[in-house]
Amino acid sequence: MGDTLTPHLIALDVDGTIVGYDGSLSESVKQVLDRLAEEGHHLVISTGRALPGALEVVHALDLKHGFVVCSNGSVVVRLDPELPLGWEMHHVVSFDPKDALEQMHAALPTALFLVEDPDLHRWASGAFPVGELAESDTLDIVDFEELLTKQATRIVMREVNGTAEEFAAAVDSLGLHEVSYSVGWSNWLDIAPDGVSKASGLELVAEELGVEHAHTVGAGDGLNDIEMIEWVEHGIVMGQSKDELKVLASVVTDSIDDDGLAVALVDYFDLDSSLLDAVGTTNTRP
């Protein structure tokens, strides 16, 4: 366990880790995170969500200070309640998506494509299934050719039809070398600039906060969490995760339905176990 009294950077994936796949936030998870913040630890939301969706969770947890790593590391913002919006841009990485988009479209011409630009505006070739984009009201639908003209912090490819095996085979055939990518749960591919991941964003945050690597903890459930779990000193992987992530874990905890994040954090930081009394109790939907 080590020195858990020193302020730690605690990197937290959102969907499937902090909140359920239906967006619900349990009472025990919120209580545990509140306690850790009260004790001086740095809670850092680290998510594939774009900033508006990440801020939903920031507000639900009442986080006022610190940093948020979003868009899988391409965007890092600093929280400050004195700022007009309550946050400011700290670091943004972007790339020209044209070549990757053309390769992806050739492999899966029926897929949906989304581009997020450095101003955090999102453009898509079609409407995504209801509920898949937490902040869907910010999405502009345009022709695929217009997406090729944008600068991107990330690309999303979503194939609504076909099997996961067919999707994975199509992704393998792309031969993407100048970007970082991760395959999500449901025929979903995230692409970021080369070398950019949740881990690269968290490394910047740790430096800003002055937190040594020995005092880093991360929790996640998806394949876009691989670099983060490899980077942190103590990696918590949710029980419902795929084996590719579980083998990297310091500990595999319970599933999101059993508030695995709260259980693992109480154990690691030796918190009062009464914080888990509300396990399984739904609190709010961020």
> Residues 216-243: pLDDT tens digits?
999 999 888 999 999 999 999 999 999 9
pLDDT score of 195 more than 50:
yes
Residue-level pLDDT at 183: 54
- Kindly give the residue spans of alpha helices, DSSP state H, lying in the chain: 27-38, 51-60, 98-107, 144-147, 164-174, 198-209, 226-231, 243-246, 260-268
Written as six digits, the tokens of 206 are 């740790």
pLDDT band per the 50, 70, 90 thresholds, residue 285: low
Residue at a domain's end among 193, 212, 244? 193
Mean pLDDT of the chain, nearest integer: 89
Identify the band that residue 64 occupies on the pLDDT scale cut at 50, 70 and 90.
very high
Q: Are residues 179 and 225 in the same domain?
A: no
Answer whether residue 80 is part of any domain. Answer: yes
pLDDT for position 185? 58
Give pLDDT tens digits for 258-274: 999 999 999 999 999 88
The answer on 136 and 17 residing in a single domain is no
Would you call 71 helix, strand, or coil by DSSP?
Answer: helix
Where does a domain end: 162, 193, 224? 193
pLDDT, mean of residues 103-126: 91
**DSSP readout, 157-173?**
EE--SS-HHHHHHHHHH
Give the mean pLDDT of 18-30: 92
For residue 136, what pLDDT is reported?
46
What pLDDT band is residue 178 in, cutting at 50, 70 and 90?
Answer: very low
Which has more pLDDT, 124 or 223? 124
205 and 258: one domain? yes
Angle among Cα 141, 92, 261 to the nearest 5 degrees reads 85
Query: With 80 as the cut, is the pLDDT of residue 1 above it?
Result: no
Answer yes or no: do 263 and 240 share one domain: yes
Give the model's pLDDT for residue 283: 61
| One domain, residues 53 and 78 | yes
Whether residue 121 sits in one domain with residue 204:
no
Nearest to 160 by CA among 189, 191, 122: 189
**CB-CB contact of 236 with 217 (8 Å):** yes
Q: What is the mean pLDDT of residues 67-82?
A: 95
Q: Has residue 179 got a pLDDT over 60?
A: no
Is residue 230 within 8 Å of 220, Cβ to Cβ?
A: no
Residue 132 has pLDDT above 70, yes or no: yes
Contact status, residue 114 vs residue 128, Cβ threshold 8 Å: yes
- For the chain, give the number of residues: 286
Q: The CATH number of the domain where 267 resides is what?
A: 3.40.50.1000
User: Do residue 36 and residue 84 come from a single domain?
Assistant: yes
CB-count burial class (<10 Å; 0-12, 13-18, 19+) for 136: middle
Residue 230 resides in a domain? yes
| Total count of domains within the chain | 2
Average pLDDT over residues 76-100: 95
**Which residues span the domain enclosing 65?**
9-92+197-284
Nearest one of 120, 101, 123 to 179, comparing CA atoms: 101
The C-alpha atoms of residue 146 and residue 72 are separated, in whole angstroms, by: 23
- Asked if 86 and 224 sit in the same domain, the reply is yes
The DSSP annotation for 237-268 comes to E-TTS-HHHHTT-SEE---GGGTHHHHHHHHH
Give the domain-ending residue among 133, 162, 193: 193
Query: How many whole angstroms separate alpha carbon 168 and alpha carbon 174?
Result: 10
Long-range contacts (CB closer than 8 Å, 24 or more residues apart) made by 124-127? none
Residue 58 has pLDDT above 70, yes or no: yes
What's the angle, vertex CA 56, arms to CA 198 and CA 241, rounded to 5? Answer: 45
218 and 81 in a single domain? The answer is: yes
In a shared domain, residues 264 and 203: yes
Q: CATH number, domain at 178?
A: 3.30.1240.10
